[in-house]
A = this chain, B = another copy of it.
Amino acid sequence: MTVTQDERRNGVDTATLFATLDAVKGQHEIAKFQFRASNNWVNGVHSRSKFAGFYGAMQELEHQHVTEVESDHPAVLVGQDEAPTPVEYLLHAIAACLTAGIANIASARGVTLTKVTSSVEGDIDLLGVLGLSDGAVRNGYEQIKVNFHIEGDADEETLRAIVEQSRRRSAVYDALTNPTPVVVSVSTS
């Protein structure tokens, strides 16, 4: 079978995408994933994480490449500004998750995209983190705004519906807008 234009629309292998959906329908266990990161403190508020392996599709898997990312605080927040702050990575996560969904959903709906860009803004009042608000100001973002610009061979209504469906199905959108349990444990020796 030759791969046709339709099967790789937007670079998405829709035939495999639909086959994957069918496989998961037949065996729900395939859909259980565990993603992982390991982090090492470097110095000051600078630390580095690695992404290597994960569990999914009923097996231990490794990414093709190990990726390292770093965080620090800017000078104005008493860091060395070696890397973006931890909270900035949340902005990448929401943009990248919605964009991936847009590409998959557009492809499934037969829409060829020519451009998808987004800018993300997260407003945060550090009175919370600094412990100066008596609990009146939250620690995290007060609001995150994601502004998409999307172009493709479909009308505006169709393009907007693709973004909306991506929002409804987004793992990161859910993780941010609804409570996600986070358990912190500690060993000291």
CB-based contact A92/B69 at 8 Å: yes
CB-based contact B41/A140 at 8 Å: no
Q: Which B residue sits closest to A87, measured CB to CB?
A: B171
Number of A residues near B (Cβ < 8 Å) is: 132
A110 at the interface (CB under 8 A from B): no
Interface string of A102-146 (1 = CB under 8 A from B): 111000000001011111111111111111100000111111111
A-B contact pairs, 18 of them (CB 8 A): A10-B43, A11-B43, A36-B120, A36-B122, A37-B119, A38-B117, A41-B99, A45-B99, A49-B91, A56-B77, A63-B74, A67-B83, A128-B169, A143-B180, A144-B180, A144-B181, A145-B183, A147-B187
